[in-house]
Structure 1
Amino acid sequence: MLRQIQESAMLRQLSQDQMKAALHSYHPSRYLATPKGRKMVKTLNTFKITILCGFITLLVLRGTLGPGGMFSSGAPQVTDLREQIIKSQRARVLAQVDEAIPDETTASKFVEEDEWDPSTPYKLGPKITDWDSQREAWNALNPGMNRTVDGKPKTLLVSGSQPGPCANPLGDFYHLKFLKNRIDYARLHGLEFFYNMATFEKEMSSFWAKLPLLRKMMLNHPGVEWIWWMDSDAIFTDMTFEMPMEKYAKSNLVVHGFHNLLFEQHRWIGLNTGSFLIRNCQWSLDLLDALAPFGPEGITRVEAGKLLTAKLVERPVFEADDQSALVYLILYGDPTWKAKTHIEWEFLLHGYWKYVVYNYEELMAKNHPGFGDERWPFVTHFVGCKPCKLGATPENDECFKQMERAFNFADNQVLEKYGYTHAALGSFKTQKIRRDSADPLGLKQDASSARRIDKQTIKSDPFTAKLELTEQDTEEVTSQLDITQERQRLNNLDLSE
């Protein structure tokens, strides 16, 4: 009996020791390795991801809707929206001014010319006072040279870029793409095109370089009625839209702008000179002559900038730019500058890129080319981007990314004619969207249907039918024609008798 009690005690002690050893060796990973444990881990991970996504969504909504977020009281006021537009326009033009400042090389290294005396007002060239009569005489000697094939006034599209290569090779790559875009638009709409890479006047550097170039174009192309200037960082994004030139019959300058900002508030951002049309006439030569004294590089441009800052609302202190100078002349100069200037706002002759590029997919889903306005922007202008600047920055990366999207958005409208389109707006790759045909012009189908003439037609008009049918189809027509001719001969005999 005693032995049995001792053995029972030993067994109890052994089981307790085994239990302690088992508990000591237990680890949570042993449970997580089971199917039930793995399922619980998966559920926890999904819960974590859901919380993270919800937090990110709240941040995005707050940034998109503004400080008021989803709980703001009503839509933003119109005045607030207008102020946002004004601020963005101001930042945009300042970025353009900063971009135009020469960096490592100046215009004086690319052109040789007579020295200009700074004590005298700067001139673009000899004064011309009878240009209209000179052009009239030239057009009389060259009838029809000032019109396109379809009778429209001849227009010369002018653009250009710096004489030397970009420090960043991507800059030259996108200059090439934008050049291709201009060539496509000019070809589609019958425009003549001139792309300049030469400096004509060393004093007129940066954005002032367009003045001597425009004068040269007018004087050397007397048959051209309109000259269309386009900055190197602007691109056509509606390849179907065409300028309504009949609308500007009484105007000599067409520029994108806002009437209230320009004429009521006298703001220096009331118009934009990145894309505009100017008529080839005496008025335009006089306007270029009036703008020229503001532009010479150096102290003259600096002092002119002080004048413009004093006269134009909210203009910062910086050297004179052609846009501010044009605003100044329209507001305070000869009344004819205002009378002959058309401020275009009904379509996007200049569309600030940050307002349009992010909407391309939505526009493609809802609209089609040909509007030229917010539904399908005519021109997208990448003001503030510096494609030639060396070094990768977040700003430049975004510019290059959106330049590629804008180019492909426009290029799709060209490639679709040939049965292709870009795989995506951000992709170089193309994809076929239409099968090739053995009858691309559709003429074979029309010809075969024309040959299918029924017997009634053959009997009623065999002469015409014989002309329309091929040799293999003419046997029946010929026999019918012989019968018809014999009947006519007999009728003639009856008449003669």
Structure 2
Amino acid sequence: MAKHNGRSKAASFLSDGFLFIGGALVAFLVVWAVWSFFSPSPTPSPAFSISPYSDRKSGPDTSVSAAATSCAGGANLRHDPPDANFYDDPKLTYTIDTPPIKNWDEKRKEWLKQHPSFAAGAENRIFMVTGSQPTPCKNPIGDYLLLKLFKNKVDYCRRHGIDIFYNNVLFQPKMFSFWAKTPTVKAAMLAHPEAEWIWWVDSDAAFTDMDFKLPLDRYKAYNLVLHGWPNLIEKKSWTSINAGVFLIRNCQWAMDFMDVWASMGPQSPDYDKWGETLSTMFKDKIFPESDDQSGLVYLLLEEKEKWGNKIYVEGEFYFEGYWMEIVGTFDNITERYTGIEKDVAGLRRRHAEKVSEGYATVWEEHLKDAGNGRGSWRRPFITHFTGCQPCSGDHNQMYSGQTCFDAMQKALSFADNQVLRNYGFVHPDLLDPSTVNPLPFDYPA
């Protein structure tokens, strides 16, 4: 679902005309978002330093922190045989600006042989990575929002058996802001050879469909998956993709790609040159510095044989969707899902959280007519709060900080209701996260 165009086989829900009319708006919004990760934060706008929700009226171990869900079933977490492997190589480094990793596919394969309990399901194992800046947020409610956004990701991962790592330090001090994800992802690839996929999700993105699973079979022939609009890529727009959420295969191709992508960053002696190159290529780019998103589009277009042919531009669902077109649909979506539950007793049945995926499969049978895109009444997979800047408070001036805060609260409560359902409770008001009501037996019959 999403503002999307998908690949050639995917149905398009946005016309070229709409996309071009909205191009300037999207560019203006994105530039507010690209500085959100590890960037210096100005004094927050008073409008986003709002009073606590309790005062509002509403309707009826170390500097790096990690959180993990349970590991894949059956894996032996204590078994690490003494046989030598790539970890014993004194030349191995985790940093992004060091000699490249070679023969990574063979090294991963050998590690899995040494740790056979991880072999089952390895081809579909995902490891999620996210993070935020090392220092406290300038916005008084920023840390509160980041905590809730992280909780949201942990909830999703727990339900689907995905491990997650939250990083809040710079692995390469010069790679600030949006570039900080690159060294983090590379380090995660080395730290987790048991994972086939590394899934980067920006701190300001929330899962709003807790049941949906990535269609990994669709990506078998690809090594990188990101959200975008192929027709805008061909028209050389720097906003034709979004680099805030992406899935990258843990393989040699990805190791090489990360090195090339990172070479456009601020730690590189060619950083200024890349800024000029990208600004020349993308006429709608509105700031001169080299950025990760423009760099991705450049590699898609200019080095298609080497990189582009292994990159899947997802547009058939909200791999990440713009919050302003999503949040207003939550009430209608809730009403439609509740209507289905009233008619299908099996979906109303209480069950343990651990078996939720089985019920999600049943839901799919009743969502065939829900659509996948603008106007759809299906739950959006990921809602991305581009431009809200919850940590700095320096939100896009096209809307108020209060609008951002309310939208985040609503999205997070919408997602939380899907989780709390297994615990017997629900938020009656999406704008009031502090209040829950117990659910009666056979709700909502």
Name the TM-score, length of structure 2 as normaliser: 0.72
Matching residue of 1:326: 296
The structure-2 alpha-carbon separation of the partners of 1:432 and 1:258, relative to structure 1 and needing over 3 Å to count, comes to same
Matching residue of 2:343: none
The structure-2 alpha-carbon separation of the partners of 1:239 and 1:391, relative to structure 1 and needing over 3 Å to count, comes to closer
Matching residue of 2:206: 235
Question: How far, CA to CA, are the matches of 2:148 and 2:38 in structure 1?
Answer: 24
- Aligned CA-pair RMSD: 2.7
CA contact 2:127–2:197 (8 Å) conserved in 1: yes
The answer to whether residue 126 in structure 2 is matched with residue 155 in structure 1 is yes
Question: How far, CA to CA, are the matches of 1:269 and 1:101 in structure 2?
Answer: 21
The structure-2 alpha-carbon separation of the partners of 1:218 and 1:78, relative to structure 1 and needing over 3 Å to count, comes to closer
Residue 83 (structure 1) aligned to one of 20, 40, 46: 20
Equivalent residues in 2 for 1:303-318 (5 A)?
303-318=273-288
Question: How far, CA to CA, are the matches of 1:101 and 1:280 in structure 2?
Answer: 24
Matching residue of 2:352: none
Deviates more, 1:398-407 or 1:77-86: 77-86
Q: Post-superposition shift, 1:397?
A: 1.4
Question: How far, CA to CA, are the matches of 1:100 and 1:176 in structure 2?
Answer: 15
Matching residue of 2:78: none
Equivalent residues in 2 for 1:40-439 (5 A)?
78-99=15-36, 102-103=39-40, 124-148=97-121, 153-262=124-233, 264-296=234-266, 300-333=270-303, 335-367=305-337, 373=373, 374=376, 375-389=378-392, 395-428=400-433, 429-435=435-441
The structure-2 alpha-carbon separation of the partners of 1:313 and 1:238, relative to structure 1 and needing over 3 Å to count, comes to same
Any idea what SS the aligned residue of 1:285 has? Answer: helix
Question: How far, CA to CA, are the matches of 1:402 and 1:259 in structure 2?
Answer: 29
Which letter maps to 1:245? Answer: L
CA contact 2:388–2:394 (8 Å) conserved in 1: no
The structure-2 alpha-carbon separation of the partners of 1:422 and 1:84, relative to structure 1 and needing over 3 Å to count, comes to farther
Which letter maps to 1:294? Answer: M
CA contact 2:146–2:391 (8 Å) conserved in 1: no
Question: How far, CA to CA, are the matches of 2:272 and 2:325 in structure 1?
Answer: 32
Structure showing greater Rg: 1
Q: Larger helix proportion, structure 1 or 2?
A: 1
Question: How far, CA to CA, are the matches of 2:155 and 2:202 in structure 1?
Answer: 16
Question: How far, CA to CA, are the matches of 1:417 and 1:430 in structure 2?
Answer: 13
Q: Which has the higher contact order (CA 8 A, sep 6+)?
A: 2
Q: Post-superposition shift, 1:396?
A: 1.4
Q: Cα deviations across residues 53-97 of structure 1 (Å, max 9, x unaligned)?
A: xxxxxxxxxxxxxxxxxxxxxxxx955422233233212221113
CA contact 2:36–2:392 (8 Å) conserved in 1: no
Q: Cα deviations across residues 23-78 of structure 1 (Å, max 9, x unaligned)?
A: xxxxxxxxxxxxxxxxxxxxxxxxxxxxxxxxxxxxxxxxxxxxxxxxxxxxxx95
Segments of 5+ residues of structure 1 without an aligned counterpart are 1-76, 112-121, 437-497
Deviates more, 1:135-144 or 1:83-92: 83-92
Question: How far, CA to CA, are the matches of 1:332 and 1:78 in structure 2?
Answer: 25
Q: Percent identity?
A: 38
CA contact 1:258–1:343 (8 Å) conserved in 2: yes
Question: How far, CA to CA, are the matches of 1:418 and 1:94 in structure 2?
Answer: 40
Question: How far, CA to CA, are the matches of 2:229 and 2:149 in structure 1?
Answer: 27
CA contact 2:36–2:391 (8 Å) conserved in 1: no
Deviates more, 1:90-99 or 1:219-228: 90-99
Any idea what SS the aligned residue of 1:169 has? Answer: coil
Name the TM-score, length of structure 1 as normaliser: 0.65
Any idea what SS the aligned residue of 2:134 has? Answer: coil
